[in-house]
Amino acid sequence: MNRLLWSAAFLLLALVMLLSLVIGQVWLPPAALLDGLFAPDPNLAGLILVELRLPRMVLGLMVGAALGLSGAVLQGLLRNPLAEPGLLGVSAGAALGAVIAIYFGLAMLYPLATPILGIVGALLAGLLTFTIGRGGTLTLILAGAAVSGLAAAGLSLALNLAPSPYAAYEITSWLLGSLSERSWAQVLLAAPFILAGLACLVATMRALDALTLGEAQAASLGIDVDRTRLLALLGTALAVGAATSVTGAVGFIGLVAPHLVRPFVGHQPSRVLLPSALFGAILLMSADIATRIIPTTQELKLGVLTSLAGTPFFFWLVLRLKRTAP
């Protein structure tokens, strides 16, 4: 990606970040927000900005980057344009962990129980995928599918046996994915995991380039393919697992972001990574802003919106593959 495109992307990101601070359920003029921020004593505008919109923006930034980067790494690792972060069973594991916290009422006693159990679930799911599927790329995908299936079964069981309709409603509504009403405590809990995960994912960069030649040639070029698989899985478990633990399931960002940037960087896998993180963040925050603007009686959930907007893209991708495939 050349300098002009990079600057345009960063400008777009800055714009989205600013909008996500200015736009909310309550309209406050930017001047009032600024005044509130610098006012010496606590006031409503300042509280809304610092305690509601700022954590939401930071969370959107991190989660979007995690999804975009993980999607780009997995597509590069598996050399499959349809790979996405949920493929390794990590997101489903995170969702199951979080739902267990809601199901047993732990979330009521201790608000951080949901994300903590979510992260535990993601790491356990990642460990299970790795233990079963290690040693091959195809086995890793299959193990991921099996772990996803297991976690989905657990989720269905929780819904089935939910102690009250209210609990079932709470579980489904959490599963739909949202950034709203997340506290700084939740953001700060997830942040170290997400950052560590992003670091693991970025470390696969050079190996992904070599994998363009297939696994045998990559190995002959000194790439440790096993280690690359481990880094991608661990990075996804940490980053996407922690992200899902706080926000619930947000689909399609990890699938779409790499496709948006790929033509601009000459399809070289390593060059897709950072722009994908950037566009993941832009897409996620734009979608989150849209949920606040679109007037609905109930909160429009972020995960619902990304699916609604992402599915047509998926259709387009399939049609394009059909056209370009030999």
Angle between helices 113-133 and 184-202 (to 10 degrees): 20
Binding of another protein by 221 (CB under 8 A) = yes
134 binds another protein (CB under 8 A): no
The Cα 213–Cα 9 span in angstroms is 30
Give the range of 9-17, 52-60, 121-129, 263-271 binding another protein by CB under 8 A: 263-271
Vertex 147: Cα angle to 162 and 133 (nearest 5): 165
Instruction: Select the span of 31-39, 125-133, 266-274, 279-287 touching another protein (CB under 8 A).
Output: 266-274
The one among 214, 293, 316, 318 contacting another protein by CB under 8 A: 214
Minimum gap (Å) between residue 206 Cβ and another protein: 7
Cβ neighbours of residue 219 closer than 8 Å, sequence gap 6 or more: 225
If one asks whether residue 2 binds another protein (CB under 8 A), the answer comes out as no
| Residue 210 binding another protein, by CB under 8 A | yes
Query: Footprint of another protein on residues 169-208 (CB under 8 A)?
Result: 206
Structure tokens at 273: 């990574």
* Closest to 63 (Cα-Cα) out of 228, 205, 164, 179: 179
Residue 268 within binding range of another protein, rule CB under 8 A: yes
Q: Is residue 40 a contact residue for another protein (CB under 8 A)?
A: no
What part of residues 58-87 is at the interface with another protein (CB under 8 A)?
79
- Find the binder of another protein among 23, 32, 37, 219 (CB under 8 A): 219
Q: CB-wise, 57 or 265, nearer to another protein?
A: 265
Does 212 bind another protein (CB under 8 A)? Our answer is yes
Which backbone phi and psi does 101 adopt, to 5 degrees? Answer: -60, -40
The yes or no reply on residue 266 touching another protein (CB under 8 A) is yes
Closest separation between CB of residue 210 and another protein, Å? 5
Find, among 260, 262, 278, the residue nearest to 270 by Cα: 262
Examine residue 35 and tell whether it contacts another protein (CB under 8 A).
no
Identify which of 37, 57, 28, 90 has the alpha carbon closest to the alpha carbon of residue 236. Answer: 90
CA 9/CA 220 separation, integer angstroms: 36
Q: Quote helix, strand, coil % in the chain, to nearest 5.
A: 80, 0, 20
Summarize as ranges the residues that interact with another protein (CB under 8 A). 79, 206, 209-214, 216-217, 219-224, 266-269
